[in-house]
Chains A and B, each alone.
Chain A
Amino acid sequence: MDADVDPTVAGPPSPGLSVVGSRPPRVDASDKVVGRARYAMDVSLPGMLVGKVLRSPHAHARIVSIDTRPAEALPGVFAVVTAADLPPIDPEDKRASGEQTFQDRTFASRKVLYVGHPVAAVAARTEAIADEALSRIVVQYEVLPAVTDVMEAVREDAPILHEGLRPRSLAGQDDSPTNVASYFEQVKGDPAAGFAEADVIVERVFRTKMVHQGYLEPHVSTATWNDRGDLTIYATTQGSFAVRDHVVRLLRLPMSRVRVIPMEVGGAFGGKNSSYVDGTAALLARKARRPVKVAMSRFETFQATGPSSGTVIRVKMGATRDGRITAAEATLTYEAGAYPGSPVGSGAHVMFSPYVIPNGRIEGYDVVVNRPAVDSYRAPGATPACFAAEQVVNELADRLGVDPIDFRLRNSASEGSEALDGTVQGSIGAVEVLEAAKAHPHYTAPLGGANRGRGVAHAFWGNWGARSSVTITVNPDGTVALLTGSVDVTGTRTSIAMQAAEVLGLPLERVKATVGDTDAIGYSDVSAGSRTTVATGHAAVKAAKDVIAKMCARAADIWGVPVDGIAFRDGVFRTTGDIARAFTFVELAGLLPDTGNVVIGVGNVDVGDWGASFGTHIADVEVDPETGKVTLLRYTVVQDVGKAIHPVEVEGQLQGGATQGIGWALYEGYDYDSNGQMLNPTLLDYKLPTMMDVPAIETVLVEVPYPGHPFGARGVGETPIMPPPAAIAEAIYQAVGARVCDLPMTPARILESLGII
């Protein structure tokens, strides 16, 4: 629990809300439908140059030399930069190794670790000149053996990516070079005894491929400096302060010198928490003394941004004949890509957490391979883990002859349940969600044809809180200007403004919400972890309450009564004493300029208490037994959303998240050849679901209010990506008897499982 959060605002939502829970048009929509909304790709500055990055053609190689002179000599080239242009690192500094790794992600200094690893960059007058300049940079490589498969990377004879890497574990460090960046083991109870007690045990190994967030807008950044040394960056990011901090660290600048202006974001899903070209643009612009825009192509976006880990996950679970889970065990091996940091811990945390399991053991391995370093993707690490665990849960239920939802209810976690890793559930709606799924007409509707099947899967995601800043300035006409530091990636300007409007007693039209740049508003963490509507909502409520308190004080001044003699209710300030006096919000706002200072409400929070979200999905499929092609017939998402601040946006999160999960289930995955070249870096062969591939997605919003939020809201965005692969896998099994354990579940895999090919 965090002291910054006003405890008086907590508690379940009261009836009689007027803005929260309504369905207004989102405030960003009107600019987006006419092409007026400004994205980072749309930025154009006078004298702006085109920046382009030279990338490694090799998956693993030592850089012998880089000769940039032929490129520099080309007319129209203004700057060429490499790792040599980054600030020197003092080898005596104890942070030297970490700083070197950090710099190497922007430009490789000694070794390239994946195809697409940046080696140099140019700024030139036109794209054609920039391309020509790149082709003139001479890089000599000593090509090294590469390893892109996670199970090969853990072998003793595997090529080593980082000679200095030693495995990190709870027990300390080992001393031999390895690609295992870290490992952990969590044990609860007595797993052997738990399995001995079981009547049915299912054990399987699941493999999933690296996948990409697939945001439609590639990364792009425009940087410009003035002669004082002030840097301005127009970025596409989930966090303007994250970009600022990244560039400050990379170029060693005072924080106050860097202003990051967040533009509209063309999709992110975790993939825009990190910077890929902001530092490059800044470095080029400084050297060229002109504004520089660096835009990644789709090809570069696939090859050289942070996708999500491919995984190998072994799961073993046991249950008694009466449907009680007695033990669970899992080994998770996650690709980190070129640098340590896969979300294996998060996968381990969520996979068995929907259930009360007395005995268990989870091992996790974070493994570097010659692929791009992974980044977050919507519920990082959780979807493969959910796919694995939930398939085994379904198979147990099937083997026991128990209804899969009843089986889950029998073992469901509830408030106070302890997970295998020792974490304890707070207020959750797990049971409510399962019961709502079971009661939904979809669950019992006839399938209506041959080769059709139905599957369910269930997921837990913990969500996040963290730091957010909001200010609210009262205008004399009774409108307010709300400034937030949270980049809007999902419609949060609307949902944050709604919470402020509710507290201020104003209609939404009177609250203008704007995302501020880093010079304009206080620090705010990235818009990630399903935190923004919840945590920045806390900040907005706090700022609104500050406004009300200051306006109460002003009313007290005007009326000459003590401030505790003023109450604010239903949008009206009233005296509570004998003489009845009242101002509407608009009336009092109009008096502000002549009676004192401007009223600005401030809401800075570091939210430490937030609610988790459970979801249950129901999928119906038809499988063509001759071709293995899966057609989704019907899909329903049931989720505990706490309180839907803006129900339409919540539905959109559930539908969009489920669709990404459907893509992961059936179509998406990075393919590599044996040299570490990605084979499908296009939207032709990296297959996002099209409108033809998903049915209408029904949503059921279950509202189990979270007591720690002013309106009871929970984060909603991430949970819905998790269940689709397991739900669809079960539906395929029920349809044609193929138990597919690898993602994506391609037609070829299904035919192989059926023994047809």
Chain B
Amino acid sequence: MKPFAYVAPASVDEAVALLAEKGERARPLAGGTDLLVQLRRGRFDLDVVVDVKRIPELTRIAYDRAEGLTVGAAVTCAVLGEHPEVRGLYPGLLDAASIIGGAAIQGRATLGGNLGNAAPSGDAIPALIVLGAEAIVAGPDGGRRVPVAGFCTGPGKTVLRRGELVVAFHVPAPHPRSGASYVRFIPRGEMDIAVAGVGAWVALSAGGDTEETSRVEAARIALAAVAPTPLCVESAGAALVGRAPVEVAFEEAAALAREAARPIDDMRGTLAQRRHLVGVLVKRALRKAVRRALGVS
């Protein structure tokens, strides 16, 4: 690994100033599970690594019934998974956050890092997208909020401008009778990168306590590892609206998602396999999300 300087600022302003000054030659360090590996492989080199874990706003979790959930960008997946409200109200987020690496990676990996790394296969990203999450960004010109759905622009590329830093994520309070889920396919039981992943969220109208008697009020579906960025397939969600959340509707959503996917062949999976898996996983994710919406899981 090429030598670099290490700085651990105590405030967002300090971090932003440093990132703004160094531009491409600086990167924020959250869990380090991607950044240190990339530095060691010589994918890029840096003058300075900005450790953001000592900044209070980045390591805080707050839940409010009206406001929803705010998760600091440097909160580790392990800490997230131990938070009672997150466990109770956002199981779809934990589906994703709890499968990023094994136990030791969980102790370091963060949502901010997963999004900032902008890998097409980032598991947390589709889960955040379908929950309608926004990234709270600080920058030299002040703050802004960016929907996670529009955050990644290509493999390793994001909308962040020079000096900008993701401070936290805001996830809306759960809609009544809604459920979310994330499922992925990997060859081994753990420790792998998704060959394909699907996040799903459904909100059901009032009334009806089974799949057959319920109606979908709104739905979102987002995909991982089948396009240059995590992909929100609006048509697939829209196709479910007004219908009972049953297999025939899931099939249609799955077909639309398969069409929207733009997978590639690589050593982790083939194009045909990925497109096929999108269909399988959309249905599995929807079944799980609907069960959660109905409170039966």
Contact = CB atoms under 8 A, between A and B. Distances in A.
B187 A629 contact: yes
Most interface-central of B188, B192, B269, B272 (chain A CB within 10 A): B188
Interface string A652-687: 000000000000001100010000000110001101
A415 B261 CA distance: 60
B187 A667 contact: yes
Nearest to A694: B189
Interface in B224-240: none
A687 B193 contact: no
Interface stretch (A217-225, A530-538, A701-709, A746-754): A746-754
B80 interface: no
B277 interface: yes
User: A693, A748, A756 — which one has the most chain B CB atoms within 10 A of its CB?
Assistant: A748
Contacts of B191: 684, 690
A748 B270 CA distance: 7
B61 interface: no
B287 to A, nearest CB: 12
Contacts of A751: 273, 276
A358 interface: no
Contact size range, B: 20 to 34
B189 A692 contact: yes
Given A689-B188, A692-B188, A627 B280 contact: yes
A670 B268 CA distance: 12
B268 A685 contact: yes
B161 interface: no
B281 to A, nearest CB: 8
Most buried by A among B190, B267, B270, B277: B267
Nearest to B279: A626
B187 A685 contact: no
A171 interface: no
Contacts of A684: 191-193
Contact of A671 (B3, B192, B267): B267
Given A131-B2, A679-B267, A680-B267, A687 B273 contact: no
Contacts of A689: 188
Interface in B81-105: 102
Contact of A687 (B188, B269, B270, B280): B188
Contacts of A679: 266-267
Interface string A719-757: 000000000000000000000000000111001000011
Contacts of B272: 748, 757
Contacts of A748: 269-270, 272-273
Contacts of A629: 185, 187
A214 to B, nearest CB: 14
Contacts of A667: 187-188
A563 to B, nearest CB: 63
Contact size range, A: 20 to 34
Interface string B178-211: 0000000101111111010000000000000000
B117 to A, nearest CB: 14
A34 interface: no
A191 B102 CA distance: 53
A629 B186 CA distance: 9
Contacts of A128: 2-3
Contacts of A666: 187
A626 B189 contact: no
Interface in A121-143: 128, 131
Contacts of A627: 185, 277, 280
Interface in B141-190: 185, 187-190
B288 to A, nearest CB: 15
A303 to B, nearest CB: 13
B267 A746 contact: no
A751 B276 CA distance: 10
Contacts of A687: 187-188, 192
Contacts of B193: 684-685
A690 B189 contact: yes
Interface string B61-92: 00000000000000000000000000000000
A556 to B, nearest CB: 64
A382 B226 CA distance: 38
16 contacts: A128-B3, A626-B280, A627-B185, A629-B185, A666-B187, A671-B267, A679-B266, A679-B267, A685-B193, A690-B102, A690-B190, A748-B270, A751-B276, A757-B270, A757-B272, A757-B273
In order of increasing CB-CB distance, the 5 nearest A-B pairs are A692-B189, A757-B272, A748-B273, A671-B267, A626-B280
Given A629-B185, A671-B267, A748-B272, 6 more contacts: A627-B280, A667-B188, A679-B266, A679-B267, A690-B191, A748-B270
